[in-house]
Amino acid sequence: MEQGTLFVKLESAREALPVQGRVVISQTVNGVRVLEIELVTDEDGLTQPVTLDAPDRSISLDPASTQQAWAAYDVEAYADGYSDILLEGVQVYSGVEAYAPISMLPIFPSQAVSPTAVTADTGSTSREAQQDILHTTIPAPAIRGGSASGPAPLSTCATQPLVLQSVFIPQYITVHLGKPQNSAANETVSFPYYIKNVCSSEIYPTWPENAIRANIYAQISLALNRVYTEWYPSKGYNFNITNSTQYDQYYVSGRNIFTNISRIVDDIFNTYLRRVGDFAPYYAEYCNGTTVTCKGMSQWGTVSLAESGLSPIQILRRYYGNNFELVTTNDIRAIPSSYPGTPLRLGSTGNNVSIIQRQLNRIAKNYPAIGQQSVDGVFGATTQSAVRTFQKIFNLTQDGVVGKSTWYKISYIYVAVKKLAELGSESEPYPGGSGDAPGSGTDSIQQGAVGAQVAAVQYYLSYLAQTFYPTIPNIVPDGIFGAQTRSAVIAFQNTFGLTADGIV
């Protein structure tokens, strides 16, 4: 047996709040628990890394091997005021650091029903009597036996995909946890996290770095093609992509991520593959290359090509052709500031340093280990220390330099904590006065209603959607109960096991 490492991060409100709690890492063999390690998270929601046994690394580098290339562990998370979480099958590989970012859901005083259990390999939901723990099972990596063989037909609808006016990196992407035509939950996550999840779910983190990078470029391009062409919205669907490998690529709700994959994605998440002379991201078809072949990239083939010394673009051109190039865009929607183009480090000065200092100061209210500093536009030792602490908390390379990945992560977290603040105590009170429920008897609020109580309902739904429950669509409080508000109410009712009638 060789060894890998695992650490856990408890967070809430889409990374805006660290959660202090208790974590139990265990392993069960033939029904007997053979390992149990109990940890506590610090003020930034982090546990210490734990060294764990894992199978030999060589297994994950052999396409003919039938042995399991990872060790499976269970992670339980507990924190006062939050639902308990159980992740089954967290994957640990030899020589690789894994981390499990766990999104904790608060228990609200009026929440009288049990939380929903999510089984990650199907995306299905179920509600069992007396259930009191959120439960996710992480399936085996899906090194493809099937192919994402081009945009698959979805229905008899003849509507052609729309094409946006520019290629951009979306801050969020909405994933349908099933085939497009099947009833399943949607999950909205940040675009970088989506790519980290897909890569962690589709290939082994032990592969050579250039092989991992080539796969990530293909995964980014495929996803951006779906966004750019508005493939699913143009057909009436309310999501951007599915997690079905028959149509798109594999995303597993709630799974653990690998540090090396995470850091590569942070470095290249805004770079995609396109044909020379074209504008759109290329629909980069790929398959496993062993049991199934396709006209696109072989996932296992990238390993041998990387081992022979090929760069990521050379690997991609081997499969897609020499008339392809990698393109980087700094158009990242819904993030307030664009990367200045060169890293900020000790000795840097100017407005961009002031931006980082101001954003870190605001983030430090939620993550106090970062500390406060003067906003003077001078990148001194205090700013360097704050940057390193931020990088440690959010699993970035701890070099104290604000490169592209750190810049955008600071911007993303700044948006998250500000949004939470604007919905809470740092903003004006919610519209609608006291927010009292409708009166007794048959009084209710439904489509067509207007006024302060409607605005209050919309505010609460917006707060839940933006902070804790991405299954609820975000709406703008305007005091008018229209179709969008009704859809948000129905999503809320489904999330909490209420009658889904759209009536409050």
What are the tens digits of pLDDT across the range 196-242? 999 999 999 999 999 999 999 999 999 999 999 889 988 888 899 99
Q: Say if CB 299 and CB 202 are below 8 A apart.
A: yes
Average pLDDT over residues 99-128: 56
pLDDT in tens, 479-502: 899 999 999 999 899 888 889 999
The single-letter code of the amino acid at 296 is G
pLDDT in tens, 131-140: 357 778 888 8
Q: Residue 429 pLDDT more than 70?
A: no
* Sign, Cα dihedral of 222, 228, 231, 233: positive
Pull the structure tokens for residue 368: 């106090």
Q: Which residues pair with 383 in a beta bridge?
A: none
Query: Largest Cα–Cα distance of the chain, in whole Å?
Result: 75
d(CA 246, CA 244): 5
Candidates 273, 261, 135, 266; CA nearest to 202 is 261
Q: Residue 428 pLDDT more than 70?
A: no
d(CA 86, CA 135): 5
* Sign, Cα dihedral of 320, 324, 326, 331: negative
pLDDT in tens, 438-468: 655 557 899 999 988 898 898 889 888 877 8
Per-residue model confidence (pLDDT) at position 42: 96
* Sign, Cα dihedral of 388, 394, 195, 302: positive
Tell me the CB-side half-sphere exposure of residue 503, using CA atoms within 13 A: 6
Pull the structure tokens for residue 429: 């009170």
Q: Say if CB 409 and CB 394 are below 8 A apart.
A: yes
The pTM (predicted TM-score) of the whole model is: 0.82
Domains of the chain in sequence order: 2-137 (2.60.40.10), 172-328 (no CATH), 351-422 (1.10.101), 430-504 (1.10.101.10)
Average pLDDT, the chain: 86
Q: Say if CB 260 and CB 212 are below 8 A apart.
A: yes
d(CA 252, CA 238): 19
3-state class (DSSP) for residue 208: coil
Q: Residue 391 pLDDT more than 60?
A: yes
Q: Which residues pair with 84 in a beta bridge?
A: 133
